[in-house]
Structure 1
Amino acid sequence: MFTRRDGKPWEPEYLVSINGETCIGCGRCFKVCGRDVMHLKGLNEDGELIDFDPEDDEDDEEFERKIMVIVNAGNCIGCTACARVCPKNCQTHTPAGELEAA
C-alpha cells in the first residue's frame, strides 16, 4: 500500500486484460497512457491479430476492426487513467496486493 501526497492510502490497480469483444479500438486509453502499455492492432476475419500502420489507409482492407491489446504489461504503473477514459469499460484492473498474492 502506498500513500498519496495528502497522506491518504492508495493502492495501484494494474491493467491485466482488455476484452477484445467489447473494445472498439477508439484509442482513448492509448492516448492517456504515457507508459507504452498498449498498442492498437487489427483483427482479421479469422480472429487473428495483425500489426498495421495507423498512418497507412491501405492497411484498412486487411482487417475487420481494430482493438487495443496489452503489449508491455510490466510498464503499467496502476494509475487506471485508461479505464477512466474507456467508453466501453472493457479493461480489467487488479489491485497490486492481489497480484502479489498470486
Structure 2
Amino acid sequence: MSVKETIKSVYYAISNVKNKPATYLYPDKPLPTKVHSRGMLSLDLENCIGCELCYRICPADAIRMINVDKDKAKFKNNARNEAPAIDFNKCIFCGLCVEICPPHVLHHTHKYDISTDNREDLAYDPFKLNEVFEKIVKPNLGEYGLKEEKPKDNTEKKTTD
C-alpha cells in the first residue's frame, strides 16, 4: 500500500467519525411480546389428566409421557399418574399440544429466550414445566386469558327458623 493510499484511508476514516452509525445496538430491555406469541411451554401439573393427546399430536416428537409420583404431583384427576415432559431442543413451538389439551393445562408463555450452552438444560420434566407455570403464568392469569380458579365451598348452608 502506498503512502498516498494510506493517507486517503485515514482521511476517509476520520471524516466518517462524525456520521451516524450504520448499525444500531441491541435494545437494553427485551422487546415486549405480542399477545398470542408462542414462547416456552408451561404445565399446570395439578390439573393434568394424563390423556397423552399432547404426546400423540406433537409433530416434532418433542413430548414424551413419564410416570410421576402421585404424592409429589398432587394430581386432582390423573389415574395414570403420567404427565408430559418436553424437550425444547426438538420443540417447534407449533402450539398443537396447547390447542388439543382437554383440561387446558399446557400454555405458551411470553418467555422466548431459553438459550443455554448445555443441551440437557432444555429437557423439561413435568415438575420443571410446572415451575414455569407457577412463576410465569399463575401470577399473570389474565394476561394469558385464564380465569383464577375459585375454591369450592363444600360446607352446607344452615337455615335458621
Q: Which runs of 5+ in 2 are unaligned?
A: 1-35, 74-78, 116-161
Higher relative contact order (CA 8 A, sep 6+): 1
Q: Give the 3 Å change call, closer, same or farther, for CA 73–94 of structure 1 in structure 2.
A: same
When Rg is computed on C-alpha atoms for both structures, the one with the higher figure is: 2
Report deviation, 1:91.
0.7
Q: Which runs of 5+ in 1 are unaligned?
A: 1-10, 49-63
Equivalent in 113, 117, 120 of residue 100 of structure 1:
113
Q: Which residue of 2 aligns with 1:18?
A: 43
* Percent identity over paired residues: 25
What residue identity is the alignment partner of 1:83?
Answer: V
Q: Which has the higher strand share?
A: 1
Distance 2:38 2:53 in 1: 18
Equivalent in 37, 40, 53 of residue 65 of structure 2:
40
Q: Which residue of 1 aligns with 2:81?
A: 66
**Which of structure 1's runs of 4+ aligned residues deviate more than 6 A?**
none
TM-score with structure 1 setting the length: 0.57
Q: Which has the higher helix share?
A: 2
Superimposed CA distance per residue, residues 51-78 of structure 1 (whole angstroms, 9 cap, x where no aligned partner):
xxxxxxxxxxxxx642322241221111
Q: RMSD over aligned Cα, in angstroms?
A: 2.8
Q: Give the 3 Å change call, closer, same or farther, for CA 42–100 of structure 1 in structure 2.
A: closer
Report deviation, 1:15.
4.3
